[in-house]
Amino acid sequence: MNLLLVEPSEREEPGLARVDGRRARHLRRVLGKGVGDSLRVGELDGEVGEGTIEHMDADAAWIRYVLHEPPPPPSPVSLVLALPRPPMLRRTLQAVTSLGVKRIVLLHAARVEKSFWTSHSLTPEAIDEQLRLGLEQARDTVRPRVELRRRFRPFVEDELPGWATGRRVLAEPEPGAAAPRASEEPTTVAIGPEGGWVPFELEQWRAAGFGPVSLGPRILRVETAVVALVTRLGPA
């Protein structure tokens, strides 16, 4: 935890918040913080600043804080990701949130197991937990918007034209595919399931204006490919 995230609803008075649960335990047990210690604080979807632990008990901590900085700038990269298996989804959401991605669509595809859509990892609470962990890591406060799309074709044909702005990039190791190029331009990248996109899906992406990029000859896990592409497609 590099940043303590507090919510406006946790303010007991201006500049004083009470936090409990995982965050209070982490302050005490992992970081070894106590009364009088300072720490970085951010208000969820707001500014960043410094705080001091004013009081602690067995269940909670009271933080006196001042906010005076904007959060880090967002990444220009938006992500369309074929829904991965639950453990990989959790790691990926944390990672891309830490990298500043602010728009994420989790999409069905032919090679996505239907059982993935019934996972607890897709509940709003479970998704929000991973986003907050990613924010804490990167000292950010602004959560990404995560959307679930269970039907491939309606999303690509009907929603994507208005959703994807700027460059459109398809993670597909085709012969002759270009390497990712860094840019500040808004970029939408589509990354397929572990088994890859089927031919029909590839045709749909091409028809939507997505050009292939390659990370080289190695076969990468989805979570590795996501991090590599987001970092290489964003500003240098």
Give the residue among 85, 152, 96, 145 at the shortest CA–CA distance from 120.
85
For range 212-226, the mean pLDDT: 86
pLDDT, residue 217, reads: 78
For range 38-53, the mean pLDDT: 96
Q: Identify the CATH class of 4-69.
A: mainly beta
Structural Rg of the chain based on CA atoms:
20
Does the pLDDT of residue 215 top 90, yes or no?
Answer: no
Locate CATH 3.40.1280.10 in the chain.
Answer: 77-233
- What value does the mean pLDDT of the chain take? 93
pLDDT, residue 236, reads: 64
pLDDT, residue 175, reads: 65
Rounded to the nearest 10°, the torsion over CA 134, 189, 123, 12 is 40
185: exposed, middle or buried (Cβ count in 10 Å: 0-12, 13-18, 19+): middle
For range 142-159, the mean pLDDT: 97
For range 13-35, the mean pLDDT: 93
**Which of 41-55, 132-146, 161-175 is least confident?**
161-175
Q: In the structure encoding, which two tokens stand for residue 137, read together?
A: 């890591």
Query: Which amino acid makes up residue 209?
Result: G
77-82: strand order across its sheet: 145-149, 103-107, 77-82, 187-191, 167-171, 211-213
Locate CATH 2.40.240.20 in the chain.
Answer: 4-69
Q: In the structure encoding, which two tokens stand for residue 20, read together?
A: 């409990």
Residue 176 banded pLDDT, cuts 50, 70, 90: low
Q: Could you read off the pLDDT of 83-141 as tens digits, one per residue?
A: 999 999 999 999 999 999 999 999 999 999 999 999 999 999 999 999 999 999 999 99
CATH for the 77-233 domain, from 2.40.50.140, 3.20.180.10, 3.40.1280.10, 3.40.630.30: 3.40.1280.10
Say if strands 167-171 and 145-149 run parallel, antiparallel, or are unpaired. unpaired
Rounded to the nearest 10°, the torsion over CA 205, 208, 211, 217 is -10
Q: What whole-number distance in Å separates Cα of residue 204 and Cα of residue 190? A: 12
Contact 141, 71 (CB under 8 A): yes
pLDDT, residue 181, reads: 84
